[in-house]
Structure 1
């Protein structure tokens, strides 16, 4: 691509938007100096050589397949209306910035918008800020669109939005900060991949899936949200949430509600205003290898059945390390729940015979309350270690199924265990 220089035509009114000279390549590689106005449709590959300022509606509109719009270090600026760069169904379009200086899209309703029928597009290397609704919006965008390496900050509402069946897209390596709504909002969209994004200072949830299944959330950092860090809700089934980090969010770091079959693996979730992981009315999920230490609670389930909770670290919370309320058929095994402000593991709620929870091979030491407390008799406890807790090593309702192999010493209650037999 050849960059052409030029100068702005004189006498243009800012009320109708400044114009810019751009370099355009024809298929024969002949370069033409083309003067574009705000709202103009772009049909060939271009490089901006001047800013577009105070656009009264849209900034630029994509009008062809396979083209590149290179902002060249310049700004596309609006007056709070329209879209900065809008694509209404063209494929294989790249919107980028090849210059060393930042290129901004700012002060529109949406910064960049990919509408129905768009596939194979790339939005990269842009600074997108101070837009009203979204920095980047994918609205029923088809497949294989990639939003990567952008700075997306200070939108009046959301940073990135995927809605209306936007499926099989990749959102990666973006810095998404200080947006007043959600950092990333996903609704009714499946099979997308969110990887290695930094999301900080959101005025609402950091990253939320609503009615969206089969998505992958991998290695994102979500800090300082005014609500939760990561939320899956209202039928967000079969998602993979792996190797993400979260710190200092105002609500639960990772919450799942009314959703099934999710995999929550190897996340590090600390310093939140609620528990590290919360499941409500959510079944059949796998929760393994997570570190949920130093929250107000570790892992918390309510009315959630048949989940696997394995090899997690739930230490040093101000509440319970792991708690299950009115939840059936869960397996809780090989977890660490130590030095918590209340109990290591707590089970509450009845279940029919054969639908109790299994607590096996967990370590619950030095908690201020009991190591393990089980309030109903339908659950099975075996091969757990409970030492140096402020209350009982194990306190279980009479008739609890004693699977044997439980060990307890140094606990505050001289009997060490009640309701099951413990050895030193």
Structure 2
């Protein structure tokens, strides 16, 4: 588990309320040791003294603001119904475990649920497992809630869920493992910060944004998912996806589908069953500084326009380093596409005059096929380098634009380049 202090990365607090996120709220009343009963409503701060076992409905219900519920190493256990600890709109509460022994919530529909109006709450240091629908759910919860430093393990569906217009919350530093659905699922939620989580062994995708905009995905690690590592889909616009990593996922490292204006920066996405990054009907995004080596493909665009693909490493794949299909007005600049089993860069599909893709300053060496292959027209090739490829250094169909400065040498085709002039 990546343990986070009360201080998350800077730059976000001003938008969502730094005071609550830092835990600087009015002091809670002194907690008292309590033997509680299943289904009890808690109105003052309490420290559990015994397990609650086989609760037929809810385990505990938060009934006041500004209180602490401390599991103190005990377990709240259900029979597959209700919620382990439910908060229906109270603010500034903390659900925690202060003991060095695990404090757990298990065998409910939901482990912890924060419902509409609940703001400024903290859910931390818990072991949440074997629940039916979701380990922790933010269901229309208000802003400044934090879900942090929990072990969320083996739910029948999802690990952590944010939906129903939940906004301005943080999901940080959790270990989310072995859940049969998605590790983290964010639907119709905005301004959520998802940071520093370790997500492994999900039966579906690792981390999903669906119809959710202006969220930040930062330094999360996703591995061994049965689908893609990160999915951004169905109108999830203007999100920041930075510094994350993935390995050994069954589908792509990152899929952006039907979503625009996203920034994908400095991620390391490797060992995927498909491309490292796949854009489908995704426009106006920035894909910069990513390492997508050692995948089935590097970066793939389909029907995606007006994107900046810059300074990425898309090498050592079993397919193409970068491939564009039916995509126009994209800028491919200063990428490294070396040692791929097929081509370095492939561009397929016509573009109207003035709407072609621009390939500038890329390095395409040691690929088994062509270094750069551009079919149809009208695309621009300028200042690219292509050496020691198995086919052409640069191949461009008639009608493309030679912007000059292209270089090639040692390629399998003696002429080195076709459709543009290359110097050694």
Q: TM-score, normalised by structure 2?
A: 0.93
SS in structure 1 at match of 2:161: strand
Aligned to 2:406: 406
In the TM superposition, residue 335 of structure 1 has moved relative to its aligned partner by 0.2
Give structure 1 stretches of 5+ with no counterpart.
Answer: 1-25
Distance 1:185 1:131 in 2: 16
- Find the counterpart in structure 1 of residue 384 from structure 2: 384
The answer as to 2:254 corresponding to 1:261 is no
Cα deviation digits, residues 257-292 of structure 1 (max 9, x gap): 000000000000000000000000010000000000
Q: Please give the residue correspondences for 1:244-323 in structure 2 after superposition, counting only pairs within 5 Å.
A: 244-323=244-323
Rounded to whole Å, the distance in 2 between the matches of 1:360 and 1:117 is 51
In the alignment, the residues of structure 2 paired with residue 238 and residue 415 of structure 1 have an alpha-carbon distance, to the nearest angstrom, of 45
Q: CA deviation at 1:28?
A: 8.3
Do the aligned partners of residues 32 and 148 (structure 1) sit closer, same or farther apart at CA in structure 2, a change above 3 Å counting?
Answer: closer
**Cα deviation digits, residues 330-363 of structure 1 (max 9, x gap):** 0000000000010000000111100000000000
Gaps spanning 5+ residues in structure 2: where?
A: 1-26
What residue is the counterpart of 2:13 in the other structure? none
Q: Assess if the C-alpha contact under 8 Å between 2:29 and 2:67 holds in 1.
A: no
1:86-235 → structure 2 map (5 Å cutoff): 86-235=86-235
- Check the 8 A contact 2:375/2:397 in 1, yes or no: yes
Aligned to 2:37: 37
Q: Is the 8 A contact 2:238 2:260 kept in 1?
A: yes
SS at match of 1:36: coil
Spell out the pairing of 1:237-248 with structure 2 (5 A cutoff).
237-248=237-248
1:376 is displaced (CA, Å) by 1.1
Is the Cα contact below 8 Å between 2:34 and 2:47 reproduced in 1? no
Query: Which structure is larger by alpha-carbon Rg, 1 or 2?
Result: 1
Contact 2:54 2:77 in 1 (8 A): yes
Specify whether residues 47 and 34 from structure 1 end up closer, same or farther in structure 2 by C-alpha distance, changes over 3 A only.
closer
Distance 1:27 1:196, change over 3 A: closer
Q: What is the alpha-carbon distance in structure 1 between the residues aligned to residue 283 and residue 139 of structure 2?
A: 30
Q: How many angstroms apart in 1 are the aligned matches of 2:265 and 2:36?
A: 50
Q: Distance in 2 between matches of 1:27 and 1:323?
A: 56
RMSD: 1.2
Q: Which residue of 2 aligns with 1:51?
A: 51
Pair 1:32–1:327, CA change in 2 (3 A): closer
Counterpart contact for 2:133–2:155, Cα < 8 Å: yes
CA offsets 1:86-119 (integer angstroms, 9 cap, x no match): 0000000000000010000000000000000000
What is the rounded CA distance, in whole Å, between the counterparts of 1:268 and 1:32 in structure 2? 47
Q: Is the 8 A contact 2:282 2:305 kept in 1?
A: yes
Q: How far, CA to CA, are the matches of 1:187 and 1:372 in structure 2?
A: 39
Q: Shift in Å at residue 36 of structure 1?
A: 2.0
Aligned pairs for 1:347-386 (under 5 A) are: 347-386=347-386
Say which SS state the counterpart of residue 324 (structure 1) adopts. strand
Take 2:28 and 2:210, find their aligned partners in 1: how far apart are those partners? 44
Q: Which position in structure 1 is the counterpart of 2:74?
A: 74
Alpha-carbon distance in 1 for matches of 2:240, 2:135: 25
Q: What is the Cα deviation at residue 246 of structure 1? A: 0.2
Runs of 4+ in structure 1 displaced over 3 angstroms? 26-29, 31-35
- Written as runs of structure 1 = structure 2, the 5 A alignment for 1:12-23 is none
TM-aligned CA distance change 1:32 to 1:387, over 3 Å = closer
Alignment partner of 2:319: what SS? coil
TM-score by length of 1: 0.93
| Higher RCO structure (Cα 8 Å, ≥6 apart) | 2
Q: Would the alpha carbon gap of residues 107 and 407 (structure 1) be closer, same or farther in structure 2, given more than 3 Å must change?
A: same
Shift of 1:55: 0.3
Specify whether residues 345 and 33 from structure 1 end up closer, same or farther in structure 2 by C-alpha distance, changes over 3 A only: closer
